[in-house]
Amino acid sequence: MPDRPTICLTFDFDAISLWLARGMTSPGPVSRGEFGAHAMPRILRMLRERDITATFFIPGHTVDAYPAECAAIAEAGHEIALHGYAHEQVSRLDRAGELAAATHARDSIVKVTGYEPRGNRTPSWDFTSSTVEVLLELGIEYDSSLMATDYTPYYARRGDMADPGGPYRFGESTSLVELPVSWSLDDYPQFEYLRLDTAVMPGLREPAAVFRNFLDDVDYLLRDEPGGVCVLTFHPQVIGRGHRLLGLERFLDACLDRPLAFRTCLDTARAFREHGA
C-alpha cells in the first residue's frame, strides 16, 4: 500500500432512486431526491477548488434521469462506479435478478458517460451469497460495501456458511478487493431526518460535531494505521445543504493539512492488489 494513509472520498448519487426503492413516489420524497442533482454543481466545484478526485457510486436510474449531471462528473475526472440500477435491495433478488440490475446499471453508465465502471457499492450496503460472483462475472475489481475491518482493505470471500448450530464457516478469498465502509463514517444516518410508519430516524445533527468524529477517525488512521485507508461516504441530497457543505469543506481543508493522500477507490484497490497483503 502507499506509504501515506489514504482517504477515499465517495459520494452515493442516489437522487430519486433512493425513494423509489422505498416505494415513496409522491412529490415530497421525490423532491428530496431531486435536490441531489441540484447540489451536484456545488459539490463538483468544491472538489475542483481543492484538486480532489472522488469516487461517485451512481445507480443506473440516476444516470438515466440526470445524464448531464452524471456526464459532468465523468468530465471532471472523477471515478464512476456501480450502485445498483434503482437502489434495489439485492437481498430481495435472486442471482439472475442481481446480475440483471448490475448489468442494466453498467450499460446506462457506459452509454451516458462513456465510463466503464470497475467498482461497486451495493445499495444500502446490502449483500447476498451471490454478490461476489456477480461482480466478478462483470469484471468488477473492487467492492465497497462490507465492514470486517476499518482501515485495511481485504479480499472478499465467497462460500461462507452460517450455521446457528455450529461454528461459522469462512469461505475462500477471491480476487475482489473490499474497501471497508462504516455507518459511523456515512453522512446519511448523521444528518437525514426520516419518518416512517414504524420508526423515526432523527438525523439533523450539528455538522461540527459529526465532522469532529470523522476527523478523529482520520487522526487515528495517521497515528496507528500507516498506509491504511479511510473510506468516507456522502450523499449529494444530504451533504449538499449549505451548512453541511460548509462543514465538509472545513473537514476537507483540515485533512489537506495532514500528511495523507486523497485517492479514488479504484486507484486504492489496485495499489492494494499490487502492494498489499
What mean pLDDT comes out for the span 30-39? 98
Residue 180 in this model has a pLDDT that exceeds 70:
yes
pLDDT at residue number 277 = 53
What mean pLDDT comes out for the span 82-106? 97
Grid cell digits, residue 137: 462475472
Residue 2: pLDDT band with limits 50, 70, 90: low
What are the pLDDT digits (tens) for 165-174? Answer: 999 999 999 9
What type of residue is 200? V
What are the pLDDT digits (tens) for 137-159? Answer: 999 999 999 999 999 999 999 99
Predicted TM-score (pTM) of the model is 0.97
pLDDT at residue number 196 = 84
Whole-angstrom distance, CA of residue 159 vs CA of residue 162: 10
What mean pLDDT comes out for the span 263-270? 98
Residue 3 in this model has a pLDDT that exceeds 80:
no
pLDDT at residue number 175 = 98
Q: Compute CA 15 distance to the chain's CA centroid, rounded to the nearest angstrom.
A: 14
What mean pLDDT comes out for the span 11-16? 98
CB atoms inside a 10 Å sphere around CB 20:
19
β-strands 6-12, 55-58: how paired? parallel
Residue 197: pLDDT band with limits 50, 70, 90: confident
Q: Which domains does the chain have, with CATH numbers?
A: 6-275 (3.20.20.370)
- The overall average pLDDT reported for the chain is 96
CB atoms inside a 10 Å sphere around CB 245:
18
Residue 135 in this model has a pLDDT that exceeds 90:
yes
β-strands 154-158, 142-143: how paired? unpaired
Break the chain down into helix, strand, coil percent, rounded to 5.
50, 15, 35
